[in-house]
């Protein structure tokens, strides 16, 4: 799975070398997720990304070489680690951003401070505000960012590839017998997601059923006893790093839980599921694999 | 004294049992009363006995013990400083504990290490406040209180700093800890041990504290060894607070409001106030945690929000009504 | 050049009257309180005359002196609440430091000039804390303790106020309550710091009569800081004059009532009269 994505990134980079020559010097007009119409006289040459997932998307659409700055934790692809930093996404260092002389800033509406986005706009720098919601939004973001960067062909291809992979998973798994899933974002406090969340879409694609999908809040803080009563068939832990946190195994204390009895306590690295990037296709594939494993562990089989 | 003692204990002890029962009966899963009773006679479903005995009972007991400890720590601090405004919060103990806990979280340590760090932070704050307040001269309650307030402000700044530099994923956990959260208290028995010990030690000390409340000179003239008693109280209050904060995070208001409310009702005999503060603090935190679990069930609120929302109006009302 | 400013005119002491001379008395086996070369620690004062006081049972001592002379400091030092700069204080033949704090509180009791009430308490509760030195940690006040407290309150004319909160009392009532508390404490030696400063004349006389009666009992004595020379002359059999420069003299009252000494003590010229065969001092009005 990981090998495949590497090739895909490489292909994008190759395309990126060709595309700008064809699209150079033609003005582009794009509407961002905030409803702002953005017009660039020519594709952006110096892009600053204000969130880790945006950095990742810019690379994915073959415009990585246009990036001149990014926020902390922009750790994928590995070469992003060398980009000049402009602070954390919740507190941007405006002076550093200006020093980089960007001709396009890509911001994240729910992560960046609104006042800072306004300030950058007032300074006359074009700001594209990104707020992808569903998988479709991730693809659409990719297409539009690619257009701004002058890598429309590479972007369209990458977006289509992403959607195709999701659709393939959907065709394969969405109609299999449903699996009741509890996705645990965090342990202290105990947090999950509702059906509006990107991860919930991954669960849905894999034929899963998010046990707390009906709640109002995007990331509700849960009472443990509600989880025990819901008795999910699968518990999937996220957390923060690339390693499984201890608290996934801690559910074993509740031996009556179906998920515990069938050993369906899984971990998927949050970097593959929680970021609005094409890599979520990998995370979704892992999710489908885990849920399928849970189906195979059903006693009636 | 005997009458007030019997009245306070006679009211608060049954109320404590009732509070724990309420905590057992309510939660995000509705359990009918008959089922609830069956849990104790082994006839209940496994789900219900798991919920009640493995989840709600340890949590209710942890909330009660921590509330009781905070209540009694507040009562002790107020006598020590002869100031009804003193509580572990004001004196920087909770702040030190919070900084310790947040640093441990930032370092990605386990929940156990977070507790240890909180304990260490509270003790460190104690040493700083008492050491600085002592200074080169003698310490007065005002000086101690002022030192505590300033040190608490320093901790506050450090808390803001840690929050500012922490990765976003850690923030909810940190904020919950700062607002108080009983959900991670799984083993209430050490705190109960401390609570019982403290009440047993505080009871015979009650009359001495009554005398001490009238000032160190008057107390010394009446045969109290003032300095050793004051040191003991301060160290005890620090240990008690550290134990409570380790259990439930930085829950505010219990230590401030509970002893004061009891004074307005039962008078100011420490032999009544100290055990009553333990019981009433326990009741308050147990009920507040039950509300935190049920108001927007199956989601949860931080319990510190509830103690403040319950405590502040009740306190203001009693204060307004009192002479 | 202008004339140099003249020092402000000060009242001239009556040089024709002899200075008072201290009467040293050696402590005996019954002596209640004795000081040996005691120099009290008054902040900012470098020198101080060493005090060798001997307070025997049945005596009532008055301490006279202007503001800041160290009267309260002396009283606190005698009670062991403050360290002396030099010398020592002995209660019943044993240095204070060798007494346990609790035992000391049965041997001597002190009424402070100021009263701190940290938290609201009732009048009866306040009087009752006088029993603290007699109770062990687990003890609860007995009916007898309550009887003692109520009797002391009655003696201080506070009957019927048992349930009042202390902070609702008038200044005089609060002062009488402090005295009632020390009467409940019932120590061998009473130390009273300006016990009558806020009392009306009737209560001043009542308090001083009561104190003198107690001091006259077997094994008892009292030491009072007073501002009123005439009251001190009436009620005290011994006087200690504390001068602002640290000098001191003491002895039986008649030997201390020397107009020159008193004028120097208060930096105030006095007119002397005589009532009932005793001298009476009034400030001279220029």
Tokens of C30: 């019954």
DSSP C240: E
Set of chain A residues whose Cβ sits within 8 Å of the Cβ of B177 = 188
Per-residue pLDDT at A13 exceeds 70: no
Query: Does the beta-carbon distance from A225 to B300 stay under 8 Å?
Result: no
Per-residue pLDDT at B250 exceeds 50: yes
Query: Does the beta-carbon distance from B223 to C129 stay under 8 Å?
Result: no
- The beta-carbon neighbor of C101 closest among B78, B220, B323 is B220
Let me know: does A283 contact A202? Beta carbons within 8 Å. yes
CA distance C254 to B185: 77
Return the pLDDT at C19: 67
Residue to test with chain B: of C108, C118, C164, most B Cβ within 10 A? C118
Average pLDDT over residues B179-192: 83
Return the pLDDT at B82: 82
Return the pLDDT at C35: 93
Set of chain B residues whose Cβ sits within 8 Å of the Cβ of A189 = 172-173, 176, 181, 183, 300, 302
Q: What percent of chain B has pLDDT over 70?
A: 97
Residue to test with chain C: of B218, B227, B266, B270, most C Cβ within 10 A? B218
CA distance A128 to B127: 53
CB count in 10 Å sphere of residue C228? 17
Per-residue pLDDT at C261 exceeds 60: yes
For residue B1, what pLDDT band results from cuts at 50, 70 and 90? low
Cα dihedral: C264, C266, C268, C273 (round 10): -90
* Least confident among A9-23, B222-236, C232-246: A9-23
- With a CB cutoff of 8 Å and minimum separation 6, the contacts of C121 are B213, B267, B268, C165, C166
Q: What is the CATH number of domain C33-257?
A: 3.40.50.300
Domain residue ranges in chain B: 2-321
Query: Does the beta-carbon distance from A226 to B29 stay under 8 Å?
Result: yes
Query: Does the beta-carbon distance from B300 to A212 stay under 8 Å?
Result: no
In CATH terms, the fold of domain B2-321 is ABC transporter involved in vitamin B12 uptake, BtuC (1.10.3470)
Per-residue pLDDT at A211 exceeds 50: yes
Residue B171 to chain C, least CA–CA distance (Å): 41
Question: Helix B171-179 and helix B303-321: axis angle, to 10°?
Answer: 30
Q: What is the CA radius of gyration of chain B?
A: 20
Average pLDDT over residues A191-206: 92
- The beta-carbon neighbor of A220 closest among B168, B299, B302 is B299
Return the pLDDT at B323: 56
Return the pLDDT at C8: 40
Let me know: does A235 contact A211? Beta carbons within 8 Å. no
Average pLDDT of chain B, as a whole number: 86
For residue B107, what pLDDT band results from cuts at 50, 70 and 90? confident
State the alpha helices, DSSP H only, in chain C: 71-78, 101-107, 123-128, 143-155, 171-185, 201-216, 229-235, 253-256, 259-266
* Least confident among A159-173, A199-213, A233-247, B146-160: A233-247
pLDDT tens column, B159-169:
999 998 887 77
Phi, psi of C230 (to 5 degrees): -70, -40
Asked if B263 is an interface residue toward chain A (Cβ–Cβ < 8 A), one would say no
Count of alpha carbons within 13 angstroms of residue C68, beta-carbon side: 6
Return the pLDDT at C232: 93
Phi, psi of B252 (to 5 degrees): -100, 175
* Least confident among B83-97, B280-294, C238-252, C265-279: B83-97
Average pLDDT over residues C192-214: 94
Return the pLDDT at C1: 43
Query: Does the beta-carbon distance from B268 to C120 stay under 8 Å?
Result: yes
Set of chain C residues whose Cβ sits within 8 Å of the Cβ of B145 = none
CA distance B142 to B90: 12
CA distance B14 to B8: 10
Return the pLDDT at C18: 46
Residue B172 to chain A, least CA–CA distance (Å): 7
Return the pLDDT at C196: 92
Q: Strands C108-111, C189-193: parallel, antiparallel or unpaired by DSSP? A: parallel
CB count in 10 Å sphere of residue C211? 25
For residue C7, what pLDDT band results from cuts at 50, 70 and 90? very low
Question: Helix B270-294 and helix B303-321: axis angle, to 10°?
Answer: 130
Domains of chain A in start order, with CATH, are 6-163 (3.40.50.1980), 175-296 (3.40.50.1980)
Asked if C109 is an interface residue toward chain B (Cβ–Cβ < 8 A), one would say yes
pLDDT tens column, C16-51:
334 677 877 888 888 999 999 999 988 878 777 899
Q: What is the three-class DSSP state of B131? A: helix
Per-residue pLDDT at A14 exceeds 60: no
CA distance C235 to A45: 103
Return the pLDDT at C250: 92
CB-defined contacts B:C, below 8 A: 81
- The beta-carbon neighbor of C132 closest among B203, B222, B268 is B222
- With a CB cutoff of 8 Å and minimum separation 6, the contacts of C54 are C25, C26, C27, C28, C31, C33, C34
For residue A177, what pLDDT band results from cuts at 50, 70 and 90? very high
- With a CB cutoff of 8 Å and minimum separation 6, the contacts of A49 are A55, A58, A67, A69, A70, A71, A74, A106
Count of alpha carbons within 13 angstroms of residue B185, beta-carbon side: 32
Query: Does the beta-carbon distance from A186 to B173 stay under 8 Å?
Result: yes
Average pLDDT over residues B129-153: 78
pLDDT tens column, C102-156:
899 999 999 998 887 777 889 999 999 999 999 988 888 899 999 999 999 999 9
Set of chain A residues whose Cβ sits within 8 Å of the Cβ of B168 = 88-90
Residue B2 to chain C, least CA–CA distance (Å): 8
Phi, psi of B188 (to 5 degrees): -80, -10
Cα angle for residues B128, B134, B137 (degrees, 5° grid): 150
Query: Does the beta-carbon distance from B210 to C129 stay under 8 Å?
Result: yes
DSSP B299: B
Return the pLDDT at A248: 86
B145 vs B74, higher pLDDT: B74
Average pLDDT over residues A133-137: 89
Return the pLDDT at B62: 93
Set of chain A residues whose Cβ sits within 8 Å of the Cβ of B62 = none
Burial class of residue A186, CB neighbours in 10 A (0-12, 13-18, 19+): buried
Return the pLDDT at A9: 53
- The beta-carbon neighbor of C101 closest among B84, B217, B224 is B224
How would you write B181-204 as a 3-class SS string?
CCCCCCCCHHHHHHHHHHHHHHHH
Return the pLDDT at C283: 92
Average pLDDT of chain A, as a whole number: 87
* Least confident among A164-178, A211-225, B238-252, C145-159: B238-252
Q: What is the three-class DSSP state of A266? A: strand
Which of A289, A37, A298, A284 lies closest to A163 in space, CA to CA? A284
State the alpha helices, DSSP H only, in A174-230: 198-205, 224-230
Residue B252 to chain A, least CA–CA distance (Å): 18
- With a CB cutoff of 8 Å and minimum separation 6, the contacts of C27 are C34, C54, C90, C93
**Chains C+A touching (3+ CB pairs under 8 Å):** no
Asked if C132 is an interface residue toward chain B (Cβ–Cβ < 8 A), one would say yes
Question: Helix B189-212 and helix B270-294: axis angle, to 10°?
Answer: 140
Asked if B54 is an interface residue toward chain A (Cβ–Cβ < 8 A), one would say yes
> Which residue pairs, CB below 8 angstroms and at least 24 apart, start in C138-146?
C138/B203, C138/B204, C140/B1, C140/B2, C141/B1, C145/C184
Q: What percent of chain A has pLDDT over 70?
A: 91
Query: Does the beta-carbon distance from B214 to C118 stay under 8 Å?
Result: yes
Average pLDDT over residues B13-24: 94
Domain residue ranges in chain C: 33-257
CA distance B211 to B193: 28
Q: What percent of chain B has pLDDT over 90?
A: 30
CA distance A13 to A158: 11
Per-residue pLDDT at A40 exceeds 80: yes
Q: Find the residue in C nearest to B5 (Cα).
A: C140
pLDDT tens column, A82-115:
999 998 887 888 888 989 999 999 999 888 888 8
Average pLDDT over residues B151-156: 92
Query: Does the beta-carbon distance from B50 to A226 stay under 8 Å?
Result: no
How would you write B2-43 as a 3-class SS string?
HHHHHHHHHHHHHHHHHHHHHHHHCCCCCCCHHHHHHHCCCC
Average pLDDT over residues A190-195: 91
Q: Find the residue in A nearest to B293 (Cα).
A: A223
Set of chain C residues whose Cβ sits within 8 Å of the Cβ of B85 = none
Per-residue pLDDT at B66 exceeds 50: yes
- With a CB cutoff of 8 Å and minimum separation 6, the contacts of A50 are A70, A71, A86, A89, A92, A105, A106, A107, A108, A111, A112
DSSP track, C137-170: TT----HHHHHHHHHHHHHTT-TT-TTSBGGGS-
pLDDT tens column, A226-265:
999 899 999 999 877 777 888 888 899 888 899 999 999 9
Per-residue pLDDT at A144 exceeds 70: yes
Asked if B2 is an interface residue toward chain C (Cβ–Cβ < 8 A), one would say yes
pLDDT tens column, C230-260:
999 999 999 999 998 888 999 999 899 888 8
Average pLDDT over residues A30-59: 92
The tokens 């203001």 sit on which residue?
B316
Set of chain B residues whose Cβ sits within 8 Å of the Cβ of A231 = 47
Asked if B319 is an interface residue toward chain C (Cβ–Cβ < 8 A), one would say no
Neighbours of chain C (3+ CB pairs under 8 A): B
Return the pLDDT at C4: 47
Q: What is the three-class DSSP state of B82? A: coil
Return the pLDDT at B173: 80
Average pLDDT over residues B250-261: 86
Residue B308 to chain A, least CA–CA distance (Å): 20
Average pLDDT of chain C, as a whole number: 88
Query: Does the beta-carbon distance from B298 to A220 stay under 8 Å?
Result: yes
Let me know: does C196 contact C113? Beta carbons within 8 Å. no
Average pLDDT over residues B183-194: 84
Which of B230, B246, B272 lies closest to B194 in space, CA to CA? B246
Per-residue pLDDT at A5 exceeds 80: no
- The beta-carbon neighbor of B169 closest among A215, A228, A240 is A240
Per-residue pLDDT at C9 exceeds 50: no
Asked if B297 is an interface residue toward chain A (Cβ–Cβ < 8 A), one would say yes
């Amino acid at each position: 799975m990981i090998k495949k994505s590497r090739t895909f990134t490489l292909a994008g980079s190759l395309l990126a070398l060709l595309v700008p020559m064809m699209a150079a010097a033609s003005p582009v007009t794009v509407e961002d997720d905030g409803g702002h119409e953005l017009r660039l006289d020519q594709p952006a040459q110096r892009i600053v990304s204000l969130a880790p997932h945006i950095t990742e998307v810019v690379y994915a659409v073959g415009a990585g070489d246009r990036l001149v700055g990014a926020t902390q934790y922009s750790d994928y692809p590995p070469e992003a680690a060398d980009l000049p930093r402009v602070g954390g996404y919740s507190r941007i260092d405006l002076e550093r951003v200006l020093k980089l002389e960007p001709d396009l800033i890509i911001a994240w509406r729910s992560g960046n401070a609104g006042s800072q986005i306004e300030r950058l706009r007032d300074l006359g720098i074009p700001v594209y505000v990104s707020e992808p919601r569903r998988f479709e939004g991730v693809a659409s973001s990719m297409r539009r960012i690619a257009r701004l960067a002058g890598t429309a062909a590479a972007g369209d291809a990458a977006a289509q590839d992403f959607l195709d992979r999701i659709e393939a998973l959907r065709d394969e798994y969405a109609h299999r017998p449903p699996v009741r899933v509890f996705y645990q974002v965090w342990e202290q406090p105990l947090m999950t997601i509702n059906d509006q969340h990107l991860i919930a879409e991954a669960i849905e694609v894999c034929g899963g059923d998010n046990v707390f999908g009906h709640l109002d809040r995007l990331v509700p803080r849960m009472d443990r006893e509600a989880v025990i009563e819901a008795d999910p068939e699968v518990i999937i832990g996220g957390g923060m790093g690339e390693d499984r946190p201890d608290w996934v195994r801690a559910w074993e204390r509740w031996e009556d839980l179906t998920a515990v009895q069938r050993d369906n306590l899984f971990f998927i690295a949050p970097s593959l599921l929680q970021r609005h990037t094409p890599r979520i296709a990998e995370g979704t594939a892992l999710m489908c694999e885990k849920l399928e494993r849970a189906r195979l562990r059903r006693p009636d089989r | 004294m005997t009458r007030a003692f019997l009245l306070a204990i006679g009211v608060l002890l049954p109320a404590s049992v009732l509070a724990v029962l309420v905590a057992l009966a309510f939660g995000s899963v509705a359990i009918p009363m008959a089922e609830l009773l069956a849990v104790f006679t082994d006839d209940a479903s496994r789900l219900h006995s798991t919920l009640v005995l493995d989840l709600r009972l340890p949590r209710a007991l942890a909330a009660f013990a921590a509330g009781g400890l905070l209540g009694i720590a507040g009562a002790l601090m107020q006598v020590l400083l002869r100031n009804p405004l003193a509580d572990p919060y004001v004196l920087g103990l909770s702040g030190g504990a919070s900084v310790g806990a947040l640093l441990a979280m930032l370092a990605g340590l386990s929940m156990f290490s977070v507790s240890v760090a909180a304990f260490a932070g509270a003790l460190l704050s104690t040493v700083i406040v008492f050491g600085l307040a002592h200074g080169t001269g003698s310490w007065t309650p005002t000086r101690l209180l002022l030192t505590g307030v300033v040190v608490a402000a320093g901790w506050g700044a450090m808390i803001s700093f840690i929050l500012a530099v922490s990765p976003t994923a850690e923030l909810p956990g940190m904020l919950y800890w700062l607002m108080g959260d009983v959900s991670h208290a799984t083993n209430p028995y050490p705190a109960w041990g401390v609570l019982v010990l403290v009440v047993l030690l505080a009871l015979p000390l009650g009359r001495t504290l009554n005398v001490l409340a009238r000032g160190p000179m008057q107390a010394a003239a009446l045969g109290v060894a003032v300095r050793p008693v004051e040191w003991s109280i301060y160290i005890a209050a620090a240990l008690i607070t550290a134990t409570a904060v380790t259990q439930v995070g930085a829950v505010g208001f219990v230590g401030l409001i509970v002893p004061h409310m009891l004074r307005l009702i039962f008078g100011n005999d420490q032999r009544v106030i100290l055990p009553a503060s333990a019981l009433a603090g326990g009741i308050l935190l147990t009920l507040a945690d039950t509300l935190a679990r049920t108001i927007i069930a199956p989601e949860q609120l931080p319990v510190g929000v509830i103690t403040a929302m319950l405590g502040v109006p009740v306190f203001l009302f009693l204060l307004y009504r009192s002479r | 050049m202008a004339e140099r400013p003249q020092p402000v005119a000060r009242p001239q002491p009556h040089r024709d009257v002899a200075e008072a001379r201290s009467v040293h008395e050696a402590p005996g086996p019954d002596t209640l309180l004795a000081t040996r070369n005691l120099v009290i620690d008054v902040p900012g004062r470098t020198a101080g005359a060493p005090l060798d006081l001997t307070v025997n049972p049945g005596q009532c001592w008055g301490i006279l002196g202007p503001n800041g002379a160290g009267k309260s400091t002396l009283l606190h030092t005698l009670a062991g609440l403050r360290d002396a700069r030099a010398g020592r204080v002995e209660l019943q033949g044993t240095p204070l430091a060798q007494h346990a704090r609790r035992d000391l509180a049965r041997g001597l009791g002190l009424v402070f000039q100021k009263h701190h009430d940290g938290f609201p308490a009732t009048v009866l509760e306040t009087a009752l804390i006088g029993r603290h030195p007699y109770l062990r940690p687990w003890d609860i006040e007995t009916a007898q303790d309550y009887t003692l407290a109520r009797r002391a309150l009655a003696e201080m004319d506070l009957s019927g106020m048992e349930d009042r909160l202390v902070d609702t009392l008038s200044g005089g009532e609060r002062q009488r309550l402090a005295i009632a508390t020390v009467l409940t404490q019932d120590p061998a030696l009473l130390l009273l710091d300006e016990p009558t400063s806020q009392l009306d004349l009737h209560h001043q006389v009542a308090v001083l009569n009561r104190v003198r009666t107690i001091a006259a009992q077997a094994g008892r004595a009292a030491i009072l800081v007073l501002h009123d020379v005439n009251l001190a002359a009436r009620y005290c059999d011994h006087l200690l004059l504390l001068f602002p420069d640290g000098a001191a003299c003491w002895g039986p009252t008649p030997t201390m009532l020397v107009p020159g000494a008193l004028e120097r003590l208060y930096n105030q010229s006095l007119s002397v009269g005589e009532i009932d065969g005793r001298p009476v001092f009034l400030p001279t009005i220029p």
